[in-house]
Amino acid sequence: MILVGACVTSVGISISVWAEYQDIGMQVFFRRSDFLGDYVQSPLAYVFNMSLIIAGTCILLAMYGLYLLKLGDFSHFLSIAGSWVGLSIILIGVFPINYLNEHRLVSTSFLMSTFVLHLFTISTRFNHKEICSRPLFILAIFGFLSASGLIYQLDWSTLDFTPCLHEGGDICWVALNMWLQTNITMLWCVLLALNIRKLAIEQYHAESG
């Protein structure tokens, strides 16, 4: 299910990015990714938001599956953190940037959940290596650094980021970091899904044998 969620998210984001690219070119990558869900400005916002809802639902189901494997306390903590991420993604799809106050809350929830998720993933590497493969561990380090950077850049008084002015072709580092965090989270889902599948097969053979 988590693979389905990652694929749906990839397709939805790709379609939305392509539609924006037709209008503003490469500047689409210097705008915050959540602007793709703006029903007023983005032509395919409904595709983007629906893909988030579907992806978040798939992540919730996958985390429930991880919880049922009963691989220890750290796997339970990881499944809870993953469920938090999935729920936050669903709520971002339900409350896009048009609902500014709600969107700020759920976006902050997503940011904090990914921070906790990558922290638990890194910790799991030292306790349950069978859950956290080396590629997943390396990815979690990058995800942790990305989330830490966004937390540092967040204006906690408004739960929002300082707008990029795009003057003189300046790079919007917040936007780039948000795109990075989005892609890291999607790739994290894929790698964890492969690990869960492998563990489920091994557990099945162990119980049937």
Q: What is the pLDDT of residue 167?
A: 57
pTM of the entire structure?
0.87
Split the chain (209 residues) into runs of 10 and give each run's mean pLDDT: 71 82 76 86 87 87 83 82 94 93 95 94 84 90 95 91 68 86 87 81 73
**How far, CA to CA in Å, does 161 sit from each of 36, 52, 99, 142?**
16, 21, 16, 21
Q: What is the pLDDT of residue 91?
A: 96
Q: What is the pLDDT of residue 138?
A: 94
Q: What is the pLDDT of residue 140?
A: 94
Q: What is the pLDDT of residue 87?
A: 96
Q: What is the pLDDT of residue 23?
A: 79
Q: What is the pLDDT of residue 206?
A: 75
Q: What is the pLDDT of residue 89?
A: 93
Q: What is the pLDDT of residue 114?
A: 95
